[in-house]
Each structure stands twice: as C-alpha cells, then as structure tokens.
Amino acid sequence: MATNRTFTMIKPDAVGNGYTGKIIDDILAAGFTIKAMKYIHLTKAQAEGFYAVHSERSFFGELVDFMCSGPIVAAILEKENAVEDFRKLIGATNPANAEEGTIRKKYAKSIEANAVHGSDSDENAEIEGNYYFSAIERF
C-alpha cells in the first residue's frame, strides 16, 4: 500500500558545502511536507546498519566512511506519490547522469558524494524512517 511518505538524508558533502537550506527549500517548493527532521553525525556502526543492504558491494566501506565524515540531516517527507516524486526531484544516483534542475545536478559532485538519499520503495521508506525516528518523533 502506498504510504505517501519517503525518507531522505542530506549527506555530509551537501551539509558541509552549506547547501542544507537550499535543498530544504527545493523539497518544500516541490510540495513535500516535513514530518520529522534531525541533524546528526552518524557513528560507523549506525551508518553500517543503515546501509546493511549494500554490505556486499565493493563500495560499502567507502560509503560508510563517507556517511560518517560529517553531520547529515535526516527527514521523513510526505506528499502524494512521495517515493517516486522525490526520486524525480533528486535525479539520478550519479550526478553526471542527473537531469538539469534536479538536486543532485545542482549540488552533488560524484556518485558517492551525491548530496541526498531518497528511498527506493514505500517499504524501504518505512524501514529507513523507522531507523532514524522513534514513534514519538514521527507524527
């Protein structure tokens, strides 16, 4: 069942480069409502837990180190058709392939330092949101 919610992280590259406000503006301008948000610096274990699904991938170690390299902003977002619309808003995983006007095209440098994460399914949006936010932090 479609939940109309998705989960995002503004990654260490975008936070470190001062793009947090611009990215949140883009998200709100696209019609998303923020249902939960926090500014945190992940430990290695926390990043490994979040990306456990990628643990066999060759880039896993680099991905985890990168996600611990500075603070991030994690958020649950709501909108009709949230997962699909958010993935359109952020653009392709590799910013070199992202369309003009997308968040990754505007603010990302590489496939690893790609500015934002967006859930790839309703099921993962729920799992990922629950990883970061307890029941009383979500409404």
* 54 labelled catalytic: no
Phi, psi of 7 (to 5 degrees): -120, 140
The reply to whether 126 sits near ligand CMP by the rule CB under 6 A is: no
Can you tell me the distance from the alpha carbon of 19 to that of 24, in angstroms, rounded to the nearest whole number?
9
The reply to whether 112 sits near ligand CMP by the rule CB under 6 A is: yes
Q: Which residue of the set 5, 11, 104, 117 is catalytic?
A: 117
What Cα–Cα distance (Å) separates residue 55 from each residue in 48, 62, 83, 117, 128? 8, 11, 23, 17, 16
Residues 19-58 that bind ligand CMP (CB under 6 A): 54
Phi, psi of 6 (to 5 degrees): -140, 170
Near ligand CMP by CB under 6 A, which window of 31-39, 75-83, 106-114, 121-129?
A: 106-114
Nearer to ligand CMP, 23 or 63 (CB): 63
Footprint on this chain of ligand CMP (rule: CB under 6 A): 54, 59, 62-63, 93, 111-112, 114, 117
